[in-house]
C-alpha cells in the first residue's frame, strides 16, 4: 500500500518522500569533513523539504533534475589530474588546456567572477546535457512560463531524459500550445552552487557536450556560462540570455585578437559565423511585427491561423532566396521544420537585447568592470522600468 502525506498542494506519496531522502543522504555523504556534512546537510534538507511542498507532479520533475545533475557531479575529474594522466588523449588534453587558458582570460581580461567552477571535467557519454521544452500561445507571441524554486519564472523547462521531455511536450500540444523541443550543450547553476561557501563537489564542471565541438564554439560556451555568474534576474530570461550572448560574442572576439589570431583562418571563420548568425537573426526578427500585426487584428481565429502559416511560408521563401549569402552556417534544418510561435520566441529570447548591451558597453568606454556595474544597476530596476530603459537604448 502506498500511503500518502497530505499537503496544501495535494498528495505526496511516501515513495517520493523516500526518493528525496535517498538523494539527500547521497549528497550529504559527498561532503567532507563531518563539520561540512552537518552544516550543508541542513540546507539540503530544507531545500528538499521545499520540493515536497510543491505537489506530486512537480516533485517528480525536481527529482529528475536533482538526479540528473548529481550524475554529472559524480563524474567530475579535475582537469589538472586529466592533463597529468598518460591515458588522456592528445586532443582532449589540448582542449582542456584551451579551457584553462580561456577561463583565466575571462577572469583577468573580461573581469568575470573568479569561481571554482569549470576546473573539472565530466564526460556524460551523450552529445547533449539537457532536452529543453519551450511553448507559446498559438495566436500571440507570448511564452508559456514555468515557475521554479529560487530561479523564479522562466520560459523553458529542461529534462535529462529526452523521452520524459517528449512526453511532457506532447501534453502541452494536446492543450493547444505551440511547442518546441531542443537539445542544449551546457547550463549553469548560477551562483547557487558556485559560491565560495559551497564545497568544490557542487561547482559546475566542463562537459564533453561542448568540449567536443570547434575551438571558437568551446570558447563561446564557456564564456557564456561564466557570464551568468555576473547577474541573474528572476523571471527575465530574455535579459539574462541576451546579456550572456553579448559577453560570449565580445569575449570570443577579444580572446582571438589577444591570441594574435586576427589574420588567421580561425578568426576569419569567426567573423563569417558572426555575419551569418546576424543575417539569420535579422531575417527572422523582420517578421515579428508582421506576426504581431496579424495577432492584434480583428480577424477570426481561423483566419489568423491561416495567416500565420502564410507568414511562415513567406519567411521560408525569403531564406531560400538568400541562402547563398550564408558562408559558414547552414540554417536549412531550422527553416525546413514545421515552425511555430515557440520557435520565433526562441530566437528572440537569446538575442532580443544583444545590440542594446553592445551600446551600453560602448557607453562605458569598453570597460568590463564599469559595464558589469551598469548592468547590475539595470538588473535591479523594477521590471517595467528595466524594459523601458532597454527599449530607450
Residue 143, φ and ψ in degrees, nearest 5? -80, 150
What letter would DSSP give residue 331?
-
Query: Is 341:138 a contact under the CB 8 Å cutoff?
Result: yes
- Return the pLDDT at 9: 34
pLDDT at 3: 29
Give the pLDDT score at 142.
Answer: 94
Nearest to 206 by CA among 126, 132, 124: 124
Backbone angles phi, psi at 339, to 5 degrees: -90, 155
Nearest-CA neighbor of 284 among 264, 312, 305?
A: 312
Cα–Cα nearest to 340, from 140, 132, 164:
140
Q: What is the Cα–Cα distance from 297 to 106, expressed in whole angstroms? A: 48
The per-residue b/e assignment along 266-299, b for 16 or more CB within 10 angstroms, e otherwise, is: ebeebeebbebbebbbebbeeeeeebeebbeeee
- What pLDDT does residue 261 have? 58
Rounded to whole angstroms, the maximal C-alpha distance in the chain is 70
Cis preceding-peptide flag for 76 (omega within 30 of 0): no
Collect all residues with Cβ–Cβ distance below 8 Å to 287 and sequence separation of at least 6.
311, 314, 315, 344
Which 3-state string (H, E, C) describes 210-264?
HHCCCHHHHHHHHHHHHHCCCCCCCCCHHHHHHHHHHHHHHHHHHHHHHCCCCCC
Residue 63: φ, ψ to 5°: -65, -45
Torsion of Cα atoms, 28 then 29 then 30 then 33, to 10°: 90
Q: How many Å apart are CA 17 and CA 71, to the nearest integer?
A: 20
Q: Beta strand 130-136 with 178-184: parallel, antiparallel or unpaired?
A: antiparallel
Sort strands 157-159 and 130-136 into parallel, antiparallel or unpaired: antiparallel
Which of 207, 213, 222, 228 has the alpha carbon at shortest distance from 72?
207
Of 120, 106, 12, the closest CA to residue 76 belongs to 120
Mean pLDDT by 10 residues, the chain (393 residues): 31 40 49 47 48 56 86 94 95 96 96 89 94 96 85 85 95 97 86 71 89 88 92 87 92 85 69 89 93 97 97 97 93 95 90 90 97 96 92 85
Amino acid at each position: 500500500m502506498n500511503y500518502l502525506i497530505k499537503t496544501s498542494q495535494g498528495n505526496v506519496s511516501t515513495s517520493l518522500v523516500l526518493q528525496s531522502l535517498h538523494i539527500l543522504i547521497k549528497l550529504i555523504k559527498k561532503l567532507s569533513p563531518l563539520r561540512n556534512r552537518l552544516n550543508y546537510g541542513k540546507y539540503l534538507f530544507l531545500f528538499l523539504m521545499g520540493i515536497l511542498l510543491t505537489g506530486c507532479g512537480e516533485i517528480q520533475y525536481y527529482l529528475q533534475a536533482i538526479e540528473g545533475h548529481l550524475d554529472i557531479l559524480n563524474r567530475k575529474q579535475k582537469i589538472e589530474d586529466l592533463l597529468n594522466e598518460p591515458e588522456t588523449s592528445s586532443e582532449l588534453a589540448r582542449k582542456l588546456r584551451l579551457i584553462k587558458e580561456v577561463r583565466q582570460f575571462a577572469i583577468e581580461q573580461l573581469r568575470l567572477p573568479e569561481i571554482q567552477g569549470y576546473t573539472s571535467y565530466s564526460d556524460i557519454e551523450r552529445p547533449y546535457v539537457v532536452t529543453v521544452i519551450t511553448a507559446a500561445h498559438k495566436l500571440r507571441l507570448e511564452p508559456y512560463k514555468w515557475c521554479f524554486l529560487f530561479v523564479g519564472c522562466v520560459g523553458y523547462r529542461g529534462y535529462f531524459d529526452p523521452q520524459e521531455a517528449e512526453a511532457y511536450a506532447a501534453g502541452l500540444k494536446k492543450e493547444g500550445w505551440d511547442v518546441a523541443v531542443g537539445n542544449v550543450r551546457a547550463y549553469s547553476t548560477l551562483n547557487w552552487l558556485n559560491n565560495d561557501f559551497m564545497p568544490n563537489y557542487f561547482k559546475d564542471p566542463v562537459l564533453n557536450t561542448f568540449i567536443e565541438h570547434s575551438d571558437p564554439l568551446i570558447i563561446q560556451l564557456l564564456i557564456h556560462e561564466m557570464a551568468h555568474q555576473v547577474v541573474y534576474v528572476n523571471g527575465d530570461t530574455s535579459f539574462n540570455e541576451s546579456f550572456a550572448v553579448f559577453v560570449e560574442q565580445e569575449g570570443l572576439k577579444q580572446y582571438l585578437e589577444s591570441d594574435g589570431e586576427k589574420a588567421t583562418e580561425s578568426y576569419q571563420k569567426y567573423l563569417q559565423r558572426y555575419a551569418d548568425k546576424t543575417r539569420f537573426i535579422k531575417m527572422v526578427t523582420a517578421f515579428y511585427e508582421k506576426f504581431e500585426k496579424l495577432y492584434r487584428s480583428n480577424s477570426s481565429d481561423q483566419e489568423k491561423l491561416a495567416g500565420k502559416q502564410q507568414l511562415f511560408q513567406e519567411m521560408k521563401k525569403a531564406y531560400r532566396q538568400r541562402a547563398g549569402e550564408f558562408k559558414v552556417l547552414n540554417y536549412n534544418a531550422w527553416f525546413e521544420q514545421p515552425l511555430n510561435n515557440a520557435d520565433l520566441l526562441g530566437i528572440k529570447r537569446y538575442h532580443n537585447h544583444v545590440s542594446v548591451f553592445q551600446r551600453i558597453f560602448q557607453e562605458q568606454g569598453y570597460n568590463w568592470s564599469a559595464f558589469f556595474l551598469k548592468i547590475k544597476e539595470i538588473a535591479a530596476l523594477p521590471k517595467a522600468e528595466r524594459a523601458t530603459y532597454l527599449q530607450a537604448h
